[in-house]
Structure 1
Amino acid sequence: MSFKFEKLISWRKSMDFGEYIFKLSRNFPKDESFNLTSQIRRASDSVALNISEGSILQSKLEFKKFLGYSIRSLSEAVTCLYKAKNRKYISEKDFNILYNESYSLMNQIIAFRNQIKE
């Protein structure tokens, strides 16, 4: 047996995204622990959390709403990536990898949400 969300590619990719962000943010300065480090981790984790929460015992309309929350969390994580790059906490290479992954993930979630018929 498995939960419905475990079969979703967007959920699996968002889980990987969150883990990559977590590992990368370990190198942020200690004085960012309660600021950018916490914010980027919460935002990136919220992508998968909203997909899973919305998929369980929700109407199709509610599920679409949670997918929207997921997209918003992803955009928040991207803004945090910009902050981290601008503050020189991450390399241009890491930024580009995560930016491209974010963009791809966003498009997958949007396409999935658009397929859900009410």
Structure 2
Amino acid sequence: MAHKFKELQIWKRSRLFCSEIYAITSKFPDSEKFGLTNQLRRASVSIPSNIAEGSSRNSNKDFARFLQISIGSAYEIETQLLISADLNFILDNELQSCLSELGEIIKMISKFKSTLI
């Protein structure tokens, strides 16, 4: 049973979050282009991408597995944002805003995942 991922709030919200990560990392030092900038961008793209890919699977169990991968990417982002703050690449208010939104996305994905199992 395929889900219409474009209608899922978790997909919409994580897609918007991805744009926020791109905006924030665009201010990182050029020396980080292949480091934290790349890592954060890839992980942020991974969240909505895995939701979309999982939605195409034939079983809820498979979809739940892709949602778990999305959650893993979210925790990766959290760690990378904290490291970025440690290195003074990100302002405290940006960090708090991102962590808050990321927490909400994780909760939403987890809640949705629990309806599939």
Please indicate the TM-score interval, normalised by the length of the shorter structure: over 0.9
Q: 1:58 offset after TM fit, Å?
A: 3.0
Q: 1:116 offset after TM fit, Å?
A: 1.0
Q: Unpaired segments of 5 or more residues in structure 1? A: none
Structure 2 partner of 1:62: 62
Q: What CA deviation, in whole Å up to 9, does each residue of 1:28-72 have, x standing for no partner?
A: 000101110000000111000000000013311100000000000
Q: Aligned with 1:34: secondary structure?
A: coil
The CA distance in 2 between the partners of 1:29 and 1:58, in whole Å, is: 43
Structure 1 partner of 2:25: 25
Aligned CA-pair RMSD:
1.0
Matches within 5 A, 1:48-59: 48-59=48-59
For normalisation by structure 1, the TM-score amounts to 0.95
The CA distance in 2 between the partners of 1:57 and 1:49, in whole Å, is: 13
The CA distance in 2 between the partners of 1:52 and 1:34, in whole Å, is: 26
% identity of equivalent residues: 33
Structure 2 partner of 1:11: 11
Structure 1 partner of 2:108: 108
Structure 2 partner of 1:83: 83
Q: Aligned with 2:24: secondary structure?
A: helix
Paired residue total? 115
Q: Unpaired segments of 5 or more residues in structure 2? A: none
Structure 2 partner of 1:71: 71
* Runs (4+) off by over 6 Å: none
